[in-house]
Amino acid sequence: MGERLKDKVAIITGGASGIGEAHAHLFANEGAKVVVTDLQDDLGEKVVAAIGKEGGDAIYVHQDVTSESDWDNVVKTTIDKYGAITTLVNNAGVANISGVEEETLDGFNRVVAICQTGVWLGMKACMPALKKSGNGAIVNISSLYGIIGTPSMISYHGAKGAVRLMTKSAGLEYARQGVRINSVHPGIIETPLAKTLSAEYIEMITETTPMGRMGEPMDIATMSLFLCSDEAKFITASEFVVDGGWGAQ
């Protein structure tokens, strides 16, 4: 067990699988008390049980990140259990592969609600406790697709691009209030979400990534670990790309 997040209390949304699950394990292994939230209750409970077996301290809370009342419940549960909130990782997300004409209003709104509105609701709900901690940190998981454009993902690009700029706005707003806020921008990562993409698309991305492979969930979690630790105490309102060099081309 490490101590880079000793005495931290971290909420991780979408923590039942993929990138969120990697965050939960890594943060707990580095000393944080972890609150895993998700809609996938069975998987979330398994993550928490595994953390316990590893010697960590974690609980699971059912959450729809688009629900303000669910956010209020997560905050209350966390404070009741651990007495504080110092760290938030807004990770929950979904994607649609649809262009301008193919996308539906319901599909567009769903992506925006989860990927963008959920991030804002998380920052809003947790901010009083984060300010009170005196050393709060938020990582908003955006995407490389929040910086560059590709065809036929209109809702995902829009939502993830919004997360990038909301992070900068909020980071500046709270820079003198003891809360640092940064965004992380993964490339293509081996996650359940990536499995919804076509095999041809995955092959194309892998072949054109300078490092020659997809990323792993832990590649993203280690970046967030740094940003949530005291090692990043002079970093806020900034963006960090973890993509194997793909976006530099």
Q: What's the CA angle centered on 17, arms 117 and 44, to 5 degrees? A: 90
Cβ neighbours around 183 below 10 Å, total: 29
Q: Find the length of the chain.
A: 249
DSSP-assigned states of every residue in 60-118: EEE--TT-HHHHHHHHHHHHHHHS---EEEE---------TTT--HHHHHHHHIIIIIH
Q: Are 13 and 36 in contact (CB under 8 A)?
A: no
| Among 60, 82, 145, 156, the one annotated catalytic | 156
Cβ neighbours around 117 below 10 Å, total: 16
Active site includes 156?
yes
- DSSP structural state of residue 15: T
For residues 75-96, one letter each, b for 16 or more C-beta atoms within 10 angstroms of the residue's C-beta and e for the rest, the string is bebbeeebebbbbbbbbbbbbb
- Nearest CA to 184 among 213, 145, 155, 152? 145
Torsion-angle region of 227 (φ positive above 0: left; ψ -120 to 50: alpha; else: beta) = alpha
Catalytic residue list: 156
